[in-house]
Every structure is written in C-alpha cells, then in structure tokens.
Amino acid sequence: MAAARPLLLLLAALGPAGAVWPQPLRQLSPPAAGRCPLSPGLFRFSYASGSAVGPGCAVLDEAFQRYRALIFGAARSAESKQPWRKPCTELSVLVSTPGCDGFPSLNSNESYKLHISRDSLLLYADAVWGALRGLETFSQLVGRDENGTYYVNETEIVDSPRFPHRGLLLDTSRHYLPLKAILQTLDVMAYNKLNVFHWHIVDDPSFPYESFTFPELSKQGAFNAMTHVYTASDVQAVIEYARLRGIRVIAEFDTPGHTQSWGPGAPDLLTPCYLGKDPSGTYGPINPILNSTYQFVTSLFQEVGAVFPDYFLHLGGDEVDFTCWKSNPQIRAFMEEMGFGGDYTKLESFYIQRLLDIVSSLGKGYMVWQEVFDNRVKVRPDTIIHVWKNSPPYKEEMANVTKAGYRALLSAPWYLNRISYGQDWMAAYQVEPLDFTGSPEQKALVIGGEACMWGEYVDVTNLAPRLWPRAGAVAERLWSDATVRNLQDAYVRLASFRCELLRRGVQAQPLFVGYCDHEFDGF
Ligand SMILES: *[C@@H]1O[C@H](CO)[C@@H](O)[C@H](O)[C@H]1NC(C)=O
Ligand SMILES: *[C@@H]1O[C@H](CO)[C@@H](O)[C@H](O)[C@H]1NC(C)=O
Ligand SMILES: *[C@@H]1O[C@H](CO)[C@@H](O)[C@H](O)[C@H]1NC(C)=O
Ligand SMILES: *[C@@H]1O[C@H](CO)[C@@H](O)[C@H](O)[C@H]1NC(C)=O
Ligand SMILES: *[C@@H]1O[C@H](CO)[C@@H](O)[C@H](O)[C@H]1NC(C)=O
C-alpha cells in the first residue's frame, strides 16, 4: 500500500531530456528537428568574430571551462577519430556590449538567443550576464543517444527573465554554513538562473562576519571565533565566485533587533533591560538614544558598504521587540523628551531614519523588511521593500507598498525552510507575484522575489536537499512567463532537471516516486 496517493501520472524515465528549467521565453524546434552530435574531445566554446568581449574575459573563459566539464564530465576524447560534423564542434558566443570586469546589477541585461542547427551553433547576448544564462540553457539541451553519443537537437531559443531580482536567502547566523556549502549553493543558483544571493550573515545567535573595524564582534559573537567565521578572504571568495556566475551578493546586517550576538563585542551598543529599578543583566535591541550608537553604525556600514560591491545593502528592520526599551528608564525619558508618547514604533523609526540617512550618505541604496514601511519610516524613493509576512495577507501588503510608489520584493510565500509532507514545491510554484489589486504602474514596481532558507533547523547536512529542487520552483516563477504554470508539465521538467542536478553532484531531494539514470553519488 502506497503511503500517499500519486497526485500525478508517474512517468517512468522522469521526463524528456533537453527540457530547460526554468522554461525559456520562446523555444522553437523545427518539426523534424535534426541533431548535432557533440564530441567531448573536439567540442569547444569560442568567441564569435565581432564579439565585444573575447579571450581574457574571466566571466566567460571560466564559464566555458565549467560548462565543458558539466556537459561531458570526465568523458575523454577517445572517439574523436569519428567524422564529426564540423559545425557541431563549436558554440560561438557573440556578446554585443563590452564589459567583463564589473559586477552584475539590478539593471543587468540577461537576455540571450541560442541558435542550434546542423550548420551552426550560436549564442548571442547583449552582455556577458546573458551569455552565462545562455550557456546554462545550452548545457541543459545536451542529451545522449542510445549509443552514449552526446548530441543536441536543432532549436531556436529567445529568452529573457520576467523579473530582474531572483534571489535566495541563506542564514549563516542560526547555523554556520561552511564556505564550500555557500559556493555550491551559488553553483546551483546559476543552474536555476537565480541572480541574487541575499546573505543574512549575522543575527541574534551568532556573528560570523569578521570585521576589520570591529574585530571583537566576531571574536565574541561567533559560535567559534576560529572555525565559525567568514574572514575577509572568505567574503571576497564568495563575491567573486558569485560574480563569475552573474550573481549579486547583497549582505544583510539586520538592526535594531536581531542583534543579540553583537552585544558582547560592542559595549553599550545594546539597550540594557531593566527589572523594576535595576538592570536585569539582559539586553534588548540596539540602543537608539546614544550618540555612540550612530558612530558605531556609521563605521560598521562604512566597512560593509566598501566590502560588498552591490549598490544595495539589506538593512533588515524587522521584528523589533519593544519590551526591553519599555523597561529602561533612560529610554522612557527620551521618549518623553521627543514627544513620542507611548508609541515605540516612533522610537524605532527614529533609529531607522538615522540609519538610512547614514547608509545613503555612503552612496548605497537599501532594501528593508516590510515593517519599516508599515511603521511609516520616511525612506528614499528608490528603497526596496521586502514583503515577508503572511498575515495580514501579503497581497494586501504588495498593493500598499506599490501604491505608495515603492519597489517591492516578495518572499512571504517562499519560506522554503518550512517543510511539509508531499509535494510542497507546488504551492511555491503556483504563486503569482503580480496577483494583487493595483494598477499596471504598481505591478511594474515588483522587481521580483527571493526564496528564503532560514537556519533554525538547517545546517550543511540538510541545506542542499531542502533547497533543491524546491527553490527551482521559485526560480521558474521569477524567470519564466506568467503563463508558464501548468503543474503536470512543470513536474515532468522539474523531475528531469532534478536528475540533472544529481548528475552534477547536487544532493537534491526527489519530488516523488521514480528514479534517475545517474543517481546521487557523492559518497
Ligand atoms: C531530441 O528530439 C527528440 C525527438 O523530438 C526527442 O525524443 C529527444 O528527447 C530530444 N533530445 C534532447 C536531448 O532534447
Ligand atoms: C537587453 O538586450 C536586448 C538585446 O540587445 C534588447 O533587445 C533588450 O531590450 C534589452 N533588455 C533590457 C531590459 O534592457
Ligand atoms: C547506434 O549504433 C548502432 C550500431 O552502430 C547504429 O546502427 C545506430 O544507428 C546508432 N544510433 C544512433 C542514434 O546513432
Ligand atoms: C549627541 O549629539 C547631539 C548632536 O551632535 C548633541 O547635541 C548631544 O549633546 C549629544 N549627546 C550626548 C549625550 O553626547
Ligand atoms: C493596507 O492599507 C490599508 C489602507 O491604508 C490598511 O487598512 C491595511 O491594513 C493595509 N494592509 C497592510 C497589510 O498593511
């Protein structure tokens, strides 16, 4: 007796080879498509003549190597004596805009065109970032016939993302994630065409970021200051690894709440809580009434703003608990002095307002969690409001945020740390980010979304299986056209893509009953 009723037709071989995840905008296959056999020994990627970038462009040079390895694995060139069709031995890449050394941004152009015929294999892109997406697509189109020969079917693909911000949040405070786990996650993000790594790097439980301005923060705030920290060179490694995959790194230093781990390394930063007339020995959120607090955050964000090259920093601002502030007599006196009455959201706003001004003056843009908007903090017009709450319904919040003219980023329905029995990727897949009441102008303010993997119950042992392929459901929702929502079709392609992830060495969990030709073999 099966434990669960199959929701969908079980497909023996788990879907067709060559189905691309996330689904491209347009794909035309000629009715009687021919195929190009590919030789592991002879096949190469090259820069087309006329391309604005050429050899020496690290983003593409390294991508060419990665994708050769991903497509052919360890396959050797033994059979290269065969008469391979010349045109099938080379995929030429033509990038029309120069630029290789920069960082991807919210405005990067990720569009590309892929032309696969027996006469030529061509990839066109506006920028290197689109070329990376096209190489990923090409790698997913390659199959093997019954004799083990690699080949790619003739096809034409025109592709570009629906939303420019397609993120994944990892939480390295509740559990420390080793550098290797972060780098592997970046690899799999690229396979899914996700383009923003939201690094929720510190929080209440631990402070693993090694600051050179304030080294005591991690010395005293990390789980282990030797082994459970991200050094400056670790952080640089993450940023460069991400850049080479067209992924932005947005660091989050959440304040004034979620800062317990900051306390030991930053005297007087946190608010002392009181029990009656005496300090209780415990601490609350950052103390918003001291000048020294603002000196501290200025110096810290000066550093963080320089270390992380993305224009945006994520400043948090969520879930501030007022209990401690209320207990503290100096804070109460300040409230009175400022005329805030008993409204502690005003005190929170007072802090956030000053923080935002500090970060603006550093030449950085910011993203904040929705409470900052809900509490009517005056934010800059280019602020991105990150919607995460489910009650009241997130659709209402998306409507309110965009009505006020701010750009919105959706995460509320995509807390993938939450799991349940069955195919819970489907709920994530069926979300429609623009399904809220609002004008076309409001809808245009939605820049995308992020899947979140909060770390209470997640460390390196279960990170990959919990993320993949479930985060792929979010990736397709954010990349593919709104009309791509058929669950049966998505199941077949996602199951097939998950098999491809196993082949690439990713410990991705199954969707349902079935098997893969290449099972996970990472022991
Ligand atoms: C190539 O096309 C054939 C015929 O449509 C299909 O059966 C096969 O799965 C395709 N292979 C790949 C790798 O796309
Ligand atoms: C990206 O580049 C392509 C090709 O040059 C162009 O057609 C498209 O409009 C660009 N998209 C954006 C968002 O700039
Ligand atoms: C596989 O090899 C057999 C024997 O050489 C040959 O007859 C058959 O056409 C090959 N299949 C393909 C798809 O090339
Ligand atoms: C804090 O700074 C303000 C403005 O610079 C100044 O007026 C005030 O006296 C300072 N407060 C303390 C306690 O130093
Ligand atoms: C959205 O705005 C309306 C009107 O101001 C308000 O009643 C409602 O509570 C807001 N919804 C959310 C989720 O904040």
Number of continuous H segments (helices) and E segments (strands) in the chain: 16, 19
DSSP conformational letter for 162: S
Burial of 291 (0-12, 13-18, 19+ CB in 10 A): exposed
Burial of 403 (0-12, 13-18, 19+ CB in 10 A): middle
Ligand nearest to the CA of 145: 3
Inside any domain, residue 34: yes
Region label for 448, one of left (φ > 0), alpha (ψ between -120 and 50) or beta (otherwise): left
Mutate to test the pocket of ligand 3, among 79, 84, 147 (most ligand atoms within 8 A of CB): 147
Cβ atoms of 269 and 255 within 8 Å: the answer is no
pLDDT at 13: 37
Mutate to test the pocket of ligand 2, among 25, 26, 107, 111 (most ligand atoms within 8 A of CB): 111
- 377 vs 348: CA distance, rounded Å: 9
Convert the pLDDT of each residue in 63-80 to its tens digit.
Answer: 999 999 999 987 655 555
- 67 vs 496: CA distance, rounded Å: 18
Inside any domain, residue 51: yes
Cβ atoms of 508 and 469 within 8 Å: the answer is yes
| 319 flagged as catalytic | yes
Cβ atoms of 88 and 44 within 8 Å: the answer is no
Inside any domain, residue 147: yes
Inside any domain, residue 344: no
pLDDT above 50 (res 350): yes
What is the pLDDT averaged over residues 2-17? 42
CA 522 to chain CA mean position, Å: 24
Helix H, strand E, coil C: the string for 413-433 is CCECCCCCCCCCHHHHHHCCC
- Give the distance (Å) from ligand 4 centre to CA of residue 291: 6
Inside any domain, residue 49: yes
Q: Residue 10: pLDDT band by 50, 70, 90 thresholds? A: very low
Region label for 158, one of left (φ > 0), alpha (ψ between -120 and 50) or beta (otherwise): beta
- 253 vs 251: CA distance, rounded Å: 7
Q: In 3-state terms, what secondary structure has residue 282?
A: strand
Q: Residue 11: pLDDT band by 50, 70, 90 thresholds? A: very low
- 334 vs 88: CA distance, rounded Å: 73
Question: Which ligand 5 atom is at minimum distance from the Cα of 393?
Answer: 13
Cβ atoms of 80 and 42 within 8 Å: the answer is yes
- Give the distance (Å) from ligand 2 centre to CA of residue 155: 21
- 317 vs 245: CA distance, rounded Å: 30
- Give the distance (Å) from ligand 2 centre to CA of residue 244: 21
Average confidence score pLDDT of the chain:
94
What is the pLDDT averaged over residues 198-222? 98
Convert the pLDDT of each residue in 490-503 to its tens digit.
Answer: 999 999 999 999 99
Task: Please give the share of the chain, as a percent, with pLDDT higher than 90.
Answer: 90
Q: Whose CA is nearest to atom 11 of ligand 2?
A: 109
- 95 vs 312: CA distance, rounded Å: 27
Convert the pLDDT of each residue in 145-197 to its tens digit.
Answer: 999 999 999 999 999 999 999 999 999 999 999 999 999 999 999 999 999 99
Question: Which ligand 1 atom is at minimum distance from the Cα of 35?
Answer: 1
Q: Residue 521: pLDDT band by 50, 70, 90 thresholds? A: confident
Burial of 342 (0-12, 13-18, 19+ CB in 10 A): exposed
Inside any domain, residue 80: yes
- 140 vs 135: CA distance, rounded Å: 9
**Which of 21-30, 76-85, 364-373 is the least confident region?**
76-85
Question: Which ligand 3 atom is at minimum distance from the Cα of 37?
Answer: 14
Whole-structure pTM value: 0.95
Give, rounded to a whole angstrom, the gap between the first and last alpha carbons of the chain: 31
Residue with tokens 């004008």: 439
Convert the pLDDT of each residue in 96-149 to its tens digit.
Answer: 999 999 999 999 999 999 999 999 999 999 999 999 999 999 999 999 999 999
- Give the distance (Å) from ligand 2 centre to CA of residue 96: 11
Domain count, the chain: 1
- Strand ranges inside 48-88, DSSP E: none
| DSSP one-letter string for 80-134 | GGS---GGGGEEEEEESS--SSS---TT----EEEEE-SS-EEEEESSHHHHHHH
Task: Evaluate the CA torsion angle 290, 295, 300, 304 in order and state its sign.
Answer: positive
Burial of 488 (0-12, 13-18, 19+ CB in 10 A): exposed
Q: Whose CA is nearest to atom 8 of ligand 1?
A: 17
Q: Residue 18: pLDDT band by 50, 70, 90 thresholds? A: low
Residues spanned by the domain of 154: 26-159
Sequence-ordered list of residues with C-beta below 8 angstroms from that of 390, at least 6 positions apart, any chain = 412, 413
Q: In 3-state terms, what secondary structure has residue 280?
A: strand
Sequence-ordered list of residues with C-beta below 8 angstroms from that of 245, at least 6 positions apart, any chain = 63, 132, 186, 187, 189, 190
Q: In 3-state terms, what secondary structure has residue 216?
A: helix
Cβ atoms of 249 and 182 within 8 Å: the answer is no
pLDDT at 2: 43
pLDDT at 29: 85
pLDDT above 80 (res 1): no
pLDDT at 5: 41
pLDDT at 6: 42
How many CB atoms lie under 10 A from the CB of residue 522?
Answer: 8
pLDDT above 60 (res 224): yes
Residue 133's CATH number: 3.30.379.10
pLDDT above 80 (res 387): yes
pLDDT at 84: 67
Question: Which ligand 5 atom is at minimum distance from the Cα of 374?
Answer: 14
The more confident residue out of 73 and 374 is 374
- From 240, 319, 336, 432, the catalytic residue: 319
Q: Whose CA is nearest to atom 12 of ligand 5?
A: 397
- Give the distance (Å) from ligand 2 centre to CA of residue 109: 6
Inside any domain, residue 50: yes
Inside any domain, residue 433: no
Sequence-ordered list of residues with C-beta below 8 angstroms from that of 380, at least 6 positions apart, any chain = 356, 360, 365, 366
